[in-house]
Amino acid sequence: MNKQPVTLLYGRLGKNPELKYTVKSEPVCTLSIAENIEGSASPIWHNVIVWGKQAEDCPVFLKKGSEVFVRGRINIKQNKSKDGTFQKLVEIRAFSIGFTNE
C-alpha cells in the first residue's frame, strides 16, 4: 500500500467548521482552509477532514477566520457525478489540528 507523505499546512478558515455524525455516530468535521503562499496572488484552498474528539472540538474553538495548522495525509477520491463523469476530490485527513486563542 502506497501511503502519502505527511503534509503540514498553515492558514485561515474560510468558513465555520461543519460537524456531522456518521450512521455509526462517529463525529467528522470538515474545514475549508486558505493557505497563503509567498509570491502567490491568491491563496490555495484545502478541504480538511477531522475525525473523533478533535472533530467535536473544532466547532467549539474555531470559527471563520481562525488561524490553524494541520498535520495529516492527502487523500484522493474519485466521485461519479449524476451525468456519469468522474471528479477527483483531494482532501487532507488530519491527524492533528492546532490553533491560537485569539
CATH of domain 6-99: 2.40.50.140
CB atoms within 10 A of CB 84: 6
Rounded to whole angstroms, the Cα distance separating 90 from 76 reads 5
For residue 2, the model assigns a pLDDT of 56
Rounded to whole angstroms, the Cα distance separating 48 from 31 reads 5
Q: What would the pLDDT profile of 47-84 be if each residue is shown by its tens digit?
A: 999 999 999 999 999 999 999 999 999 988 888 878 88
Please give the model's pTM, rounded to 2 decimal places: 0.83
Q: Which has more pLDDT, 4 or 27?
A: 27
Instruction: At 65, list the grid cell.
Output: 477566520
> What percentage of the chain reaches a pLDDT higher than 90?
67
In 14-101, which ranges are E strands? 18-21, 27-35, 44-51, 67-80, 86-99
